[in-house]
Structure 1
């Protein structure tokens, strides 16, 4: 909603998919922010905490060490299973490399202005879950490439980043709105 409001006011804005360390102690919880451009640089707005307070920083400009985009998280957890286990949704006991991989794809889609739900999966992430045996080497290479591309969008404008233009968007996602898998055809992809 905040992204739409900024855009409606001709202020560049985009949705950022990632993880915050200020929701649950010692965890990086799944969290999405609005990133908006103030004319000089991109700032990250946490609408949820802007409304209720309770954090020790400016919610109109969330510090980079308190919120990691999915691509930053992917780079941070690489080769560290213990660190990866701290990323996810602790209240549902969901987390780990598979969770960050799904978030990485949703971050790419959001930056291409296909704003999905946190529980939508497709492509590489479609078969990932808490019980999956892990990612293939080919999938890791592909996700490493995507994470590398996503790190360049910080300096780009509000248009779809060129670095992501050739990455395929889904025509259908597997969604889990009530906990059960449902195939959803996307009409605007």
Structure 2
């Protein structure tokens, strides 16, 4: 993606391009590039998969953001690198996108736990015409993999992911949610999940956009 940007315009990346000269991407692309930039500068950072509450009233939409370590505050902070002035105006975002409140972006584990406890409606979580506990479960697997440095595409499907709530192993996802919510407190379990065939990224995944299996 960076190669394509500089091929069209060789100026430094910090120089804003005209709209029709910009590289197209989704939230996962913004996040992955931002995480790479922060790590290059020696700042601990990781991609988080979950749901944003700031795009549509009453909905939690499928989204990715950066989580970076703020040394001064001694805590992890959420940063939405996708939000620009136009989106801030369009969606009426009043908070600092460099410090997203935890109730405005729910990591997948928080979303799952809130829905399982009955304090949120699973049908409010998803995107387009896809909503429900099964969708949250898919993002939960993606979030665990991202914490293990495997940041997959939002439409990649594998392992324990399912298309219906009735097919989910609820107890297994309850456990994944705990790890997703507090990854630093479950480092060993997080590493073990990278070897679990229900979670670990296989050699091929189903691409739900192209409707086919793709080798990685």
Whether TM-score is above 0.5 comes out as yes
Q: Structure 1 stretches of 5 or more lacking a match?
A: none
Number of aligned residues: 172
Q: Which moved more, 1:106-115 or 1:47-56?
A: 47-56
- Whether the 8 Å CA contact 1:44–1:61 is kept in 2: the answer is yes
Counterpart of 1:120? 156
Matched, 1:49 2:80: no
Aligned-residue CA RMSD in angstroms?
2.0
1:69-148 alignment runs, 5 A limit: 69-78=107-116, 80=118, 83-89=121-127, 92-125=128-161, 128-129=162-163, 132=164, 134-136=166-168, 139-148=169-178
Change in Cα spacing, 1:12 to 1:87, as seen in structure 2 (3 Å) is: same
- Whether the 8 Å CA contact 1:12–1:37 is kept in 2: the answer is yes
Q: Structure 2 stretches of 5 or more lacking a match?
A: 1-32
Counterpart of 1:4? 36
Mark the structure with the bigger radius of gyration.
2
Q: Secondary structure at the match of 1:134?
A: helix
1:6-25 alignment runs, 5 A limit: 6-25=38-57
Alignment deviations for residues 103-151 of structure 1 (CA, whole Å, 9 cap, x no partner): 00000000000010011111110xx22xx36235xx1111111111222
- Whether the 8 Å CA contact 1:81–1:97 is kept in 2: the answer is no
Change in Cα spacing, 1:115 to 1:26, as seen in structure 2 (3 Å) is: same
4+ residue stretches of structure 1 with deviation over 6 A?
none
How far the C-alpha of 1:81 sits from its partner, in A, is 10
- Whether the 8 Å CA contact 1:16–1:107 is kept in 2: the answer is yes
Q: Secondary structure at the match of 2:209?
A: coil
How far the C-alpha of 1:5 sits from its partner, in A, is 0.5
Q: Which moved more, 1:168-177 or 1:33-42?
A: 168-177
- Whether the 8 Å CA contact 1:50–1:60 is kept in 2: the answer is no
Counterpart of 1:37? 69
CA distance in 1 between partners of 2:188 and 2:84 (Å): 32
Matched, 1:165 2:191: yes
| TM-score, structure 1 normalization | 0.84
Q: Secondary structure at the match of 1:49?
A: coil
Change in Cα spacing, 1:75 to 1:4, as seen in structure 2 (3 Å) is: same
Change in Cα spacing, 1:9 to 1:133, as seen in structure 2 (3 Å) is: closer
